[in-house]
A = this chain, B = another copy of it.
Amino acid sequence: MSLLVVGSVAIDTLESPHGKAPDVLGGAATYFAVAASFFTPVQLVAVVGEDFPKHEIEWLRSRKIDLAGLEIQKGKSLRWTGRYHEDMNVRDTLSFEANVFESFSPDLPAAYRDTPFVFLANIAPKLQARVLDQVKSPKLVAADTMNFYIEGARADLDALLRRVPLLMINDEEARMISGERNMVLAARKILGMGPKSVMIKRGEYGVIYFSGDTIFSVPAYPLEQVFDPTGAGDTFAGGVMGYLASCGAVTPANLRKAIVYGSVVASFTVEQFSLERLRTLTREEIEARYRQFVSLTSFDVP
């Protein structure tokens, strides 16, 4: 089944102890769409400026990502410059220019309104809600958010949470939304705000998922080097939603497998700058690493 994502498509400049990558492909929706496209057809709703590289648009199209919802507007694309420290968990935003993204107001092409799987990447909760207003009875809606909206648009976010069955956030965001340090308490509070399930991304410590009385936890794939953590969370979400859409049915067993697939794709993403690793990644490599996750985590029943 197909999967709709709305969010940012951007041009990033990245600095890290490993070097510098100027003017590379970025944006949450880009990472998400490419990750999901390993599993299922993707529809991308976003806006870029006239400066957006044509060859990147061609590349996205070559991955069977439907770009009917990608608007090319007069002006410049969203640009983000970030710097990572020796401790890759710490990053500074050196500059952020919204450009054409400032007036982004997503309108879904008619053909997208029946899409059964929907992901609202990290944009203003009001815009996320606007997308929800346009889709007809989707099978699953998931959303991400960030500190900026948790602090600055809380009422909008609260209204959105009541409409989002699956929230996918990181541990700091879970603490901010809930006011709880402990992840079990944080998750329980968030589940009381609307979502039926919450997936909490913990970087090098993996993912923990809460739904009703169920808790499922997967470690991150142990990497010798995290080259560039940009997009790890978005490709995780892309792997999760892409796999679920490919299954069609959202069962507890599929959800667990989806979380592992998301973790697998995210582990590849961080191996190189930007989306470089995803350009060469194959489904066979994904399956091989999935099997490594089995060996990483499995133990016998006594």
A interface residues with partner B (beta carbon < 8 Å)? 86-87, 181-185, 188, 202, 204-206, 208, 214-219, 222-226, 253, 256-257, 259-260, 287, 290-291, 294-302
**With a CB–CB cut-off of 8 A, which chain B residues contact A214?**
295
Shortest beta-carbon distance, A231 to chain B, in Å?
Answer: 19
Oligomer: number of copies: 2
**With a CB–CB cut-off of 8 A, which chain B residues contact A217?**
206, 219, 222, 296-297
**With a CB–CB cut-off of 8 A, which chain B residues contact A87?**
181
Q: Is the CB of B215 within 8 A of A257?
A: no
Q: Is the CB of A222 within 8 A of B218?
A: no
Additional A-B contacts beyond A182-B224, A216-B297, A294-B301 (5; CB < 8 A):
A185-B224, A202-B205, A205-B205, A257-B302, A260-B299
**With a CB–CB cut-off of 8 A, which chain B residues contact A294?**
301
Closest to A258 in B: B299
A and B contact pairs by CB, cutoff 8 A, 14 listed: A86-B181, A182-B223, A182-B224, A183-B204, A185-B224, A205-B205, A206-B219, A215-B222, A218-B299, A219-B219, A253-B299, A256-B299, A287-B302, A291-B301
How many angstroms from the CA of A19 to the CA of B225 in the assembled complex?
Answer: 42
Q: Is the CB of A253 within 8 A of B300?
A: yes
Closest to A243 in B: B302
Q: Is the CB of A296 within 8 A of B202?
A: no
Closest to A216 in B: B296
Shortest beta-carbon distance, A264 to chain B, in Å?
Answer: 10
Shortest beta-carbon distance, A89 to chain B, in Å?
Answer: 10
**With a CB–CB cut-off of 8 A, which chain B residues contact A291?**
301
Shortest beta-carbon distance, A150 to chain B, in Å?
Answer: 20
**With a CB–CB cut-off of 8 A, which chain B residues contact A204?**
183
Q: Is the CB of A208 within 8 A of B222?
A: yes
How many angstroms from the CA of A184 to the CA of B294 in the assembled complex?
Answer: 18
Closest to A205 in B: B205
Closest to A287 in B: B302
Shortest beta-carbon distance, A191 to chain B, in Å?
Answer: 13
**With a CB–CB cut-off of 8 A, which chain B residues contact A225?**
182, 185
How many angstroms from the CA of A300 to the CA of B293 in the assembled complex?
Answer: 11
Shortest beta-carbon distance, A210 to chain B, in Å?
Answer: 8
**With a CB–CB cut-off of 8 A, which chain B residues contact A206?**
205, 217, 219
Q: Is the CB of A256 within 8 A of B300?
A: yes
Shortest beta-carbon distance, A232 to chain B, in Å?
Answer: 15
6 A-B pairs closest in CB distance: A256-B299, A217-B219, A205-B205, A184-B224, A184-B222, A215-B222
Q: Is the CB of B184 within 8 A of A296?
A: no
